[in-house]
Amino acid sequence: MTRDRNAQTKLIRLGQILRIFMEKEKVSSTWLSEYFQTTPRTIQRDLLLLKESGFPIYEIQKGNYLLSKDLVKNLEVFDDTELALVVALKNIVGQLGQPFQNAADSVLNSLYDCVTNMPVFVKINDAVHLDSALLNRIVKAIREKRQVSFQYAAKQGAHSVNLEPYRVVYFSGFWYLIGNEPDSGKHKRYAMDKIGDLRSLKAGFKAFPENLDAALRSSANIWFEEESNLEVVVLVGRAVSDYFRRRKMYPTQEIREVKPDGSLVVIFRVGNYESIRDILKSWIPHIVILEPDEFRKALLKDVKTWVKQQENVVY
Compute the Cα dihedral for 132, 133, 135, 139 and give only its sign: positive
What's the topology of domain 230-311?
A: Alpha-Beta Plaits (3.30.70)
Query: What's at 182, amino acid-wise?
Result: P
pLDDT 10s digits, 199-249: 999 999 988 888 888 888 877 777 877 777 899 999 999 999 999 999 889
Query: What's at 232, amino acid-wise?
Result: V
Question: What is the SS3 assignment for 252?
Answer: coil
pLDDT (0 to 100) of residue 184: 87
d(CA 270, CA 267): 10
What's the topology of domain 132-209?
A: SH3 type barrels. (2.30.30)
Mean pLDDT calculated for residue range 164-184: 88
Give the chain's mean pLDDT: 82
C-beta of residue 271 within 8 angstroms of C-beta of residue 215: yes
C-beta of residue 196 within 8 angstroms of C-beta of residue 151: yes
pLDDT 10s digits, 271-314: 889 889 999 999 999 999 999 999 999 999 999 999 999 998 88
C-beta of residue 259 within 8 angstroms of C-beta of residue 265: yes
Burial class (CB in 10 A: 0-12, 13-18, 19+), 177: buried
Question: What is the SS3 assignment for 184?
Answer: coil
Q: State yes or no: pLDDT of 1 exceeds 60.
A: no
pLDDT (0 to 100) of residue 117: 53
CATH 3.30.70 domain residues, the chain: 230-311
Give 94's pLDDT tier (boundaries 50, 70, 90): low
pLDDT (0 to 100) of residue 160: 92
Angle of CA points 63, 5, 93, to nearest 5°: 65
CA distances from 59 to 20, 29, 49, 252 (A): 15, 10, 14, 55
CATH 1.10.10.10 domain residues, the chain: 2-117
CA nearest neighbour of 167 among 227, 209, 225, 124: 209
What's the topology of domain 2-117?
A: Arc Repressor Mutant, subunit A (1.10.10)
pLDDT (0 to 100) of residue 17: 85
pLDDT (0 to 100) of residue 286: 95
pLDDT 10s digits, 104-120: 666 666 655 655 554 55
d(CA 123, CA 72): 25
d(CA 137, CA 144): 11
pLDDT (0 to 100) of residue 5: 61
The more confidently predicted of residues 215 and 94 is: 215
CATH 2.30.30.100 domain residues, the chain: 132-209
Question: What is the SS3 assignment for 265?
Answer: strand
Phi, psi values for residue 140, rounded to 5° = -65, -45
